[in-house]
Structure formats: C-alpha cells, structure tokens
Copies of this chain bind each other. A is one copy, B any other.
Amino acid sequence: MSYNIAVIGATGVVGSEFLKILETSDISINKLKLFASEKSVGKIINFRNKPFKIRALDLKDIEDADFAIFCAGSSISKQFIPKLKGSDTFCIDLSSAFRMDKDFPLIIPEINGDILKTKPKFIASPNCTTTIMLMAIHKLHKAYNIKKIQASTYQAASGGGKKLMDKLIQDTKNALSDLNTKQPFGFNLYLHESPIDETRYNQEEIKVIKETHKILNNDKIKINATCVRVPVIRAHSISMNVEFEKSFSLDDVYKILYSTENVQIVEDYKNNKFATPNDATGKNEILISRIRKDITNPKALDMWVCGDQILKGASLNALQILESLIAIL
C-alpha cells in the first residue's frame, strides 16, 4: 500500500527531522504534501530525490491525506485538527494542544502502542521530557509499581525550536567576545520558560506530571519535577529518583533495562564515563546511566537519562506511531 501524507510545519526543527527519518523509512508514499507558515511557502524541499514545494496551510489540501502529521505547534493544531473530524485523515499531533483530551490517546509505541489497535483517528505524541523519562522507567514500573518520581531536568535549546537554538549560539558568541557581559543563555541556564500557574509549577512540569499519569494510566503515582533549560543544543537530560512500592535488586533492574526496547545503558564506573546529551544527540535510543540505589531509601533508584529531544522526544515517536498505524490498517 502507498499513502498520502501531509506534514504540517515541515520546515521547523521537528518537521525537518521528521522528513529526514520518513525519507529513509520503509513507508511507501503516494502523495507527500508539505505545509508551513507564510514565510516558507514556495520553498523547495527535496525528499526521496524529488522536489516538493512548501504549501500554505489549507484545510481541503490536508483532508486529502491518509495521515496528517502536525509538527507546527499548539495554535495550528487547535485551528485545523477539530475541522478534520469528518474526514478519513488520521491525525498525529506532536503539539500539546490535545494531549489531555480524552478523545486523543497519548502514545509512546513501546509503552501503550496497543491502543493503536483501536484505530483512533486522532493521536497525540507526548511532551519530549515525558517521553524520554518514561522510556527509561515504564518496564520497571510494570515490575515494581512506581510510587513516586522526583525529577530535575537539563533541557536543551532545541525544545524551544530553531529560534532558541540560534539564541543559544548567538548569546554564547557574545559571551565569548566579552566574558564580563552577562548573556541570558550564554554559559547560563534558567528555569523553564513556560508559564507558571497558581501551584507555582510551570507548564512543562505540569505536562510531565499529567502526561505520565495518562500514559501509565495511573494518576496515583506521585510526580514532582523541576524543569530547567541548559546551554546544550539538542538533547535533554534528566536526573531522576524513582521510588517503587516493591523491593528490587540492582541486578534485576539491569535485567529489565537490558530487555527494554530502544534504551541503551551507558555507564563505566571505573573510568567515570556516563551518558551525556552529546552522546544522545542523533541517537534513536534513550541512554540510561548512573543507575544506583538511593543511599537513603532501599526502595528507590537514582538514574541519569539522556535522550534526543528532536528524535525520540518528538519526530521519531511520531514516525513510530505512523508505522504502527500502517501495520494495523
């Protein structure tokens, strides 16, 4: 079978990466339509050796597609997806717009991909930090039941799109030209820029909490997160403490992690070499590192996790959802 695919937000950081991995995938494509905002319309993108012109967003044009992949951010998703309810188009939304909507299953294929067997027309892909975190611990949760997660994040500029990546580079250049000036993002880090609500948590932290509850289908798990933007270009890291209801041995934890799909254990205690965001950059796998029993609590585990925010944190997860749907249809 060959499919008509629409990519909305095809020129953004996540959209371009999605096209790159779609290009080398086994998916047979009949028609590919690429959409972006005004300023990119008319631009040519090469895909599987053919030129594609970027189109202006148009509902009729999107409706033609078997699959529409929304990589353009919440407001565009909110504007177009509800209007596609009558069409036959499957929508995979990478934005946060409908993640908590009960009509949108929130899918990480390795964790709850089974839901796709019901052939939902609308599917949401989770927040990058949520995905990277859960990839590391979902099988441990099955074995030992997570009671509480305490996470502090080290999130790359890429989470803020090309604009923030450019700002990091420009601020760093400015800082290097005069180290006495203080640049907001040059050799500096800051608490995540998403709005803060009355609980004093920011939206990124709330996403990690609520999306985890939805994906693990369990809102009893206690989750606390502090999200921080660090001067790293592309991959996110998380320092995590996970408390389980059941006891565990470190040996069994390793067995479970070795059997977890698409994660990789990266640690060398002797030489003090552990996963870094640079190691995770460009990798499909989530890297798990510094696995240790919490010195204060035998039922808790400390872990350090790094993952490519643009790949498994976004575009790769969407591609896996698309592949899973195609396999089922």
Chain A residues proximal to chain B, CB less than 8 Å: 148, 150, 152, 154, 168-169, 172-173, 176, 179, 182-184, 187-191, 193-196, 199-202, 209, 222-224, 226, 228, 230-233, 237, 239, 241, 269, 272, 274, 276-279, 281, 289-297, 302, 304
Contact = CB atoms under 8 A, between A and B. Distances in A.
Contact of A199 (B209, B226, B295): B295
A231 B278 contact: no
A276 B188 CA distance: 7
Nearest to A190: B276
Contacts of A293: 200
A184 B292 CA distance: 24
Contact of A202 (B209, B272, B281): B272
Q: Is chain A's interface secondary structure helix, strand, loop, or mixed overall?
A: mixed
B269 A200 contact: yes
A181 B198 CA distance: 43
Nearest to A237: B189
A80 B304 CA distance: 39
Nearest to A302: B226
Given A232-B188, A272-B195, A294 B226 contact: no
Contact of A154 (B154, B176, B294): B154
Contacts of A276: 184, 188-190
Contacts of A290: 191, 200, 226
Given A200-B292, A295-B209, A154 B230 contact: yes
B190 A274 contact: yes
B169 A289 contact: no
Contacts of A295: 199, 201, 209, 224
